[in-house]
């Protein structure tokens, strides 16, 4: 489990929407793959962009859509055969400005957040009716560009009915229609969806790349905090920004302080932390704190198995981890990690007392560290 998550709709105001973002640093190889496919004249009609959340999949999808609809800034090879194989679009074209404004007539975006007419509530799924509109869109004549493009962000949010409806256009693709499916968990997709798309696996970003983006989007962060957040986010700029916005690094430091005090943490400090995540905190705080706790226990388990602590997020962490790893055998830490994930999930699903769940996990850690 990796701490924090971020969607385009939940980004801090300083972070541009993927359709307007110019940067895809760290994903040059993926961009070059799409450019080569375009230049070949045999572009697959559907692509499945996979990888962890927050690594630039949506940014790349919108970048490619802009490239396709606005046209390339340079022809294959350039005038002298030395142009880079990138996805730089003709930014002077009206299509580029329309996409940035979310108003291009040949771009259709499928995403959660629409009102379900059956419940009259905002849905966290991509609705089958909306997919049906996208299928009809694909079979229409393009309005302004030679192509029609559909972005599905994320494809994981489609239920079975919606996914089966999308299969119609994947199985019988019309000419000049391009579908870009973004997936954080491709194993959750129907096998028939996966098999009908060209798959483009995108790697997590290097810590230095994440840190560079943090400096750009959050210039208010101290250099040490940006460095720590980059490591905590494990290659996802989206998670790094979400953690920064939610105070995740402060929570992590508080949690590490309790680990450092094991097996006898100060009761008032422990209850204060549990209050923050439980009774005194909102569901998002509990979820974030729980993710951080489970993630740290996973790192501790790996340290116990390998005999060496991973690179620290903050100063002093390695010493804490090595000390605790020596206090109990691997199977005990593994059992606790598994139990922690189960308890956190059940707390969300069954409305358990969240403070008590946090205290239970720390009492288990005390017992192993004692």
Rounded to 5 degrees, φ, ψ at 206 are -65, 150
> What's residue 74's pLDDT?
67
Euclidean distance between CA atoms 292 and 154, whole angstroms: 24
Contact 235, 55 (CB under 8 A): yes
302 token code pair:
């790996």
> What distance in Å separates the CA atoms of residue 15 and residue 2, rounded to the nearest whole number?
21
The reported pLDDT for the residue numbered 14 is: 58
Lowest mean pLDDT among 22-26, 33-37, 183-187, 333-337: 22-26
Whether the per-residue pLDDT at 178 is higher than 60: the answer is: yes
CA atoms within 13 A on the CB side of 77: 4
Partner residues linked to 47 by β-bridges = 180, 198
pLDDT at 263: 96
Sheet strands side by side (includes 148-152): 107-110, 148-152, 177-183, 46-50, 198-201
pLDDT of res. 48 = 98
* Residues 352 and 346: beta-carbon distance below 8 Å: yes
Calpha distance 209→353 (Å, rounded): 39
Report pLDDT digits (tens) over 228-266.
999 999 999 999 999 999 999 999 999 999 999 999 999
61 compared with 5, residue with greater pLDDT: 61
Average pLDDT over residues 40-59: 95
Instruction: Give the confidence band of 55 by pLDDT, cuts at 50, 70, 90.
Output: very high
Tokens of 150: 């559909």
Q: Is the pLDDT of residue 220 over 70?
A: yes
pLDDT on residue 72? 83
Contact indicator for 221, 229 with CB cutoff of 8 Å: yes
114, containing H or E segment: none
Q: What is the mean pLDDT of residues 139-159?
A: 95
Mean pLDDT of 272-301: 88
Tens of pLDDT, residue by residue over 87-141, are 888 777 788 899 999 999 999 999 999 988 888 899 999 999 999 999 999 999 9
Percent of the chain with pLDDT over 70: 91
CB-facing half-sphere around the CA of 57: CA atoms within 13 A? 29
pLDDT mean across residues, the chain: 90
3-class state of residue 330 by DSSP: helix
pLDDT of residue 84: 54
Q: How many CB atoms lie within 10 A of CB 227?
A: 18
Residue closest to 230 by CA, chosen among 204, 208, 245, 251: 208
| 3-state secondary structure at position 244 | helix
Contact 219, 211 (CB under 8 A): no
pLDDT higher than threshold 90 for residue 330: yes
Report the C-alpha gap between 208 and 29 in whole angstroms: 17
Residue 16's contacts (CB-CB under 8 Å, 6 or more residues apart) are: none
Backbone φ, ψ for residue 150 (5° rounding)? -120, 130
**Residue with more model confidence, 8 or 65:** 65
In whole angstroms, give the CA distance from residue 347 to residue 102. Answer: 39
Residue with tokens 């059940």: 346
Q: What local confidence, expressed as pLDDT, does residue 25 receive?
A: 80
In whole angstroms, how far apart are CA 289 and each of 153, 198, 309, 344? 26, 37, 21, 10
Backbone angles phi and psi of 192, in degrees to 5: -70, -30
Domains and CATH numbers, the chain: 8-201 (3.40.50.300), 247-369 (1.20.272)
Is residue 12 scored above 50 in pLDDT?
no
Q: Read off the pLDDT band of 349 (50, 70, 90).
A: confident
Q: What is the mean pLDDT of residues 45-51?
A: 98
The secondary structure of residue 55, as a DSSP letter, is S
Longest CA pairwise span in the chain (Å): 71
User: Over pLDDT 90: what percentage of the chain?
Assistant: 76
């Amino acid at each position: 489990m990796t701490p924090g998550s971020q969607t385009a709709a939940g980004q801090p105001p300083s972070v541009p929407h993927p359709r307007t973002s110019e940067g895809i640093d760290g994903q040059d190889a993926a961009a070059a793959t799409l450019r080569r496919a375009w230049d070949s004249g045999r572009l697959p009609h559907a692509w499945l962009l996979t990888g962890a959340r927050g690594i630039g999949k949506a940014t790349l999808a919108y970048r490619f859509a802009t490239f396709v609809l606005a046209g390339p800034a340079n022809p294959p090879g350039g005038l002298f055969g030395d142009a880079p194989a990138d996805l730089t679009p003709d930014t002077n074209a009206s299509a580029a400005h329309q996409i940035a404004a979310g108003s291009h007539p040949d771009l259709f975006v499928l995403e959660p957040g629409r009102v379900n007419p059956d419940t009259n509530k905002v849905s966290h799924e991509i609705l089958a009716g909306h997919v049906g509109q996208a299928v009809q869109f694909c079979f229409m004549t393009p309005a302004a560009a030679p192509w029609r493009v559909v972005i599905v962000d994320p494809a994981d949010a489609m239920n079975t009915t919606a996914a089966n409806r999308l299969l119609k256009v994947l199985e019988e693709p019309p000419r000049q229609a391009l579908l870009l499916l973004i997936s954080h968990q491709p194993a959750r997709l129907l096998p028939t969806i996966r098999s009908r798309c060209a798959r483009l696996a995108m790697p997590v970003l290097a810590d230095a790349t994440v840190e560079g983006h943090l400096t750009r989007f959050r210039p208010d962060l101290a250099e040490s905090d940006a460095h720590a957040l980059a490591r905590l986010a494990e290659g996802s700029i989206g998670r790094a920004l979400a953690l920064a916005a939610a105070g995740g690094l402060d929570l992590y430091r508080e949690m590490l302080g309790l680990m450092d005090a094991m097996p006898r943490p100060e009761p008032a400090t422990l209850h204060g932390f549990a209050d923050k995540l439980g009774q005194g905190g909102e569901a998002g705080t509990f979820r974030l704190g729980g993710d951080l706790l489970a993630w740290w226990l996973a790192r501790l388990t790996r340290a116990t198995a390998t005999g060496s602590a991973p690179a620290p997020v903050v100063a002093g962490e390695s010493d804490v981890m090595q000390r605790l790893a020596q206090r109990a055998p691997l199977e005990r830490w593994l059992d606790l990690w598994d139990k922690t994930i189960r308890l956190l999930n059940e707390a969300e699903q069954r409305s358990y007392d969240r403070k008590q769940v946090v205290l239970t996990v720390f009492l288990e850690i005390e017992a192993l560290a004692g």
